[in-house]
Amino acid sequence: MDGFQKRLSESLQLRLSVALSLAILLVALLAGVFAFVSAIDEAHEMQDESLRHVAVLFDRQHMTLRYPAGEHVAGDDEESRIIVQYLADSHLAVGNDDSVIPLPFPTTLADGLTTLNIAGEDFRALVRTTATGERIVVAQEIGVRNKEARESAWRSLLPFMILFPVLLLLVSDLVRKLFRPIASLSAEIDQRDKQALHPIDEQHLPTEIRPFVVAINRLLARVAQSMENQRRFIADAAHELRSPMTALSLQAERLAATELPAPARERLLPLSRGIERSRQLIDQLLALAAAQSSPERALTRVSVHQIYRRVLEDLLPQAERKSIDIGVEGDEDVQLTVNEMDLLILVKNLADNAIRYTPAGGRVDLSVERTAASIVLQVRDSGPGISAEEQARVFDPFYRSMGTDESGSGLGLSIVKAIAERMGAQVRLGFTDEAAHSGLCVSVLLKADSTS
Ligand SMILES: Nc1ncnc2c1ncn2[C@@H]1O[C@H](COP(=O)(O)OP(=O)(O)OP(=O)(O)O)[C@@H](O)[C@H]1O
Ligand SMILES: [Mg+2]
């Protein structure tokens, strides 16, 4: 009960359903009582009318009576029978048994309808003086009349009994339909990506929830603005750090070119590496800020193989240092309509990871394939791959797997994801060798219309 009350206080839909059901129940009850009472009244009136008809018929047809004196008239309709007798014959009544006529009606009864008790039984009786001057009494047992009236009254309640559950079902269905826009609205918001802060379309919503949605849209706009400010701050900070870092790296290079004592040269090496790592971090931060910012980018027709070649030119020295066999697989090229810089950065980050995390002597393959529904760009390596548990986390900024000797900022895959989202592409991680669970295979799926 407590649970129901809690749900009732929390759910507007449940409250509306319960309130409407109670209102229907109350109206049905009142209408039922009214119908029941008036059906009983009507039945009684009709029964009085039948008494009158019998009396009139008896009078018009000039009927005469013959009593089955001393005989029982008990039969199958004994209960509902209408008794007709001359009022003057009441004194002929035998015993107190009302199944024997004539019955002992008081001879002083006035013409018209009356209710009276004869031999312990209540009767409704109509006294009439006929055209021949005789006074007749037409009577019926009250108990029988009431039973018949009640039966007919119950019959009059039948439509209410059928309509009530139908109405309840209709109301609950109607309420559910009325609240459907809210359910579909929350489903739409739930399905959104965390970066999708565009306003909710309020045009087709009921006016009652529109102000709420307008307020949510204003909040979304404020959140989007504050995220944009944050991004800009990071981009500005990275930009500002770039010049002193370049200067530092230049100084370190110059220092390396001078005569230095052996211990100083030994210490210069980690210093230069640190400066280089910081430069890479700043470059990645700038790339991420650019990938996440919203301005429209110029779209051009780009050959995927050409992008691959440019990336290979950049990364070949790195691959050669580790004796990694890197190359493009397949001859079929695909032309895409995308921002060239975006695609270049995306492929470069994936290829850079593949070379970096694949042990020396390994293999890295870049490929592009067109299927009926999409275009799939793949970067496969023969390294250790990423375990299924970690696959979702590696896209988080600054996330780096434990146990790798390679240096890195942990931003590469975040940049890939941001660029893919902007392109309307999906990034999937898998294994190059599914059976052995080894080697990372990154697939970037673009819609087929990206080629047009
Ligand atoms: N090809 C791969 N094979 C194995 N692990 C990988 C591969 N690519 C990425 N990872 C794992 O995912 C983590 C996140 O990669 P990500 O590219 O985002 O960052 P990073 O390479 O560490 O730094 P950055 O790319 O910014 O220099 C890496 O630290 C690495 O552990
Ligand atoms: Mg990386």
CATH 3.30.565.10 placement within the chain = 297-451
303 Cα–ligand 2 center, Å: 24
What is the number of the ligand closest to the CA of 432? 1
Q: How many CA atoms lie within 13 A of 110 on its CB side?
A: 2
Residue 368, pLDDT > 80, answer yes
Which segment, 118-122, 232-236, 296-300, 307-311, is predicted with the most confidence on average? Answer: 307-311
Q: Give the number of other Cβ atoms within 10 Å of residue 304's Cβ.
A: 24
pLDDT band, very low/low/confident/very high, at 26 (cuts 50, 70, 90): very high
301 bridge partner residues: 337
pLDDT attached to residue 68: 64
Cα dist from 441 to 340, 385, 391, 401, whole Å: 23, 8, 11, 17
Indicate whether residue 400 lines ligand 1 (CB < 6 A).
yes
By residue count, the chain amounts to 452
Could you please state the CATH topology (level 3) that the domain comprising 297-451 is classified under: Heat Shock Protein 90 (3.30.565)
Q: Which of 300, 292, 285 is nearest to 422 (CA)?
A: 292
Q: Is residue 446 exposed (0-12), middle (13-18) or buried (19+ Cβ within 10 Å)?
A: buried
Beta-carbon contacts of residue 135 (< 8 Å; ≥ 6 apart): 86, 87, 88, 111, 127, 128, 129
pLDDT attached to residue 320: 96
Spatial distance between the Cα atoms of 49 and 62, rounded to a whole number of angstroms? 20
Spatial distance between the Cα atoms of 199 and 216, rounded to a whole number of angstroms? 8
3-state helix, strand, coil in the chain (%, to 5): 55, 15, 30
According to DSSP H, which parts of 91-209 are helical?
Answer: 142-178, 180-190
Could you please state the CATH topology (level 3) that the domain comprising 210-287 is classified under: Helix Hairpins (1.10.287)
What is the number of the ligand closest to the CA of 385? 1
Indicate whether residue 381 lines ligand 1 (CB < 6 A).
yes
403 Cα–ligand 1 center, Å: 12
Spatial distance between the Cα atoms of 150 and 334, rounded to a whole number of angstroms? 87
pLDDT band, very low/low/confident/very high, at 451 (cuts 50, 70, 90): low
pLDDT attached to residue 100: 54
Nearest CA to ligand 1 atom 13: 400
Q: Average pLDDT of 229-235?
A: 89
Backbone angles phi, psi at 342, to 5 degrees: -60, -50
Q: Are 100 and 94 in contact (CB under 8 A)?
A: yes
Indicate whether residue 401 lines ligand 1 (CB < 6 A).
yes
pLDDT attached to residue 408: 87
Indicate whether residue 357 lines ligand 1 (CB < 6 A).
yes
Residue 360, pLDDT > 80, answer yes
Spatial distance between the Cα atoms of 337 and 302, rounded to a whole number of angstroms? 6
233 Cα–ligand 1 center, Å: 25
412 Cα–ligand 1 center, Å: 7
Q: Concatenated DSSP letters for 269-318?
A: HHHHHHHHHHHHHHHHHHHHHHHHS------EEEEHHHHHHHHHHHHHHH
By three-state DSSP, how is residue 451 classified?
A: helix
Spatial distance between the Cα atoms of 128 and 136, rounded to a whole number of angstroms? 5
Q: In 384-417, which positions are buried (b, 16+ CB within 10 angstroms) versus exposed (e)? A: bbbeeeeeeebbebeeeeeeeeeebbebbbbbbb
Pocket mutation for ligand 1, best pick of 347, 355, 402, 413 (most atoms within 8 Å of C-beta): 413
Residue 429, pLDDT > 90, answer yes
What is the number of the ligand closest to the CA of 440? 1
pLDDT digits (tens, 9 = 90+) for 262-304: 999 999 999 999 999 999 999 999 999 888 876 678 899 999 9
Pocket mutation for ligand 1, best pick of 278, 281, 348, 357 (most atoms within 8 Å of C-beta): 357
CATH 1.10.287.130 placement within the chain = 210-287
Q: Give the number of other Cβ atoms within 10 Å of residue 44's Cβ.
A: 16
Residue 402, pLDDT > 80, answer no
pLDDT attached to residue 75: 47
DSSP state of 424: T
Q: Which two tokens stand for residue 353?
A: 């990871």
Q: Average pLDDT of 36-57?
A: 92
Nearest CA to ligand 1 atom 17: 412
290 Cα–ligand 1 center, Å: 20
- Pick the more confident residue, 69 or 440: 440
pLDDT attached to residue 272: 92
Q: Mean pLDDT for the chain?
A: 88
198 Cα–ligand 1 center, Å: 30
Indicate whether residue 384 lines ligand 1 (CB < 6 A).
yes
Q: How many CA atoms lie within 13 A of 448 on its CB side?
A: 5
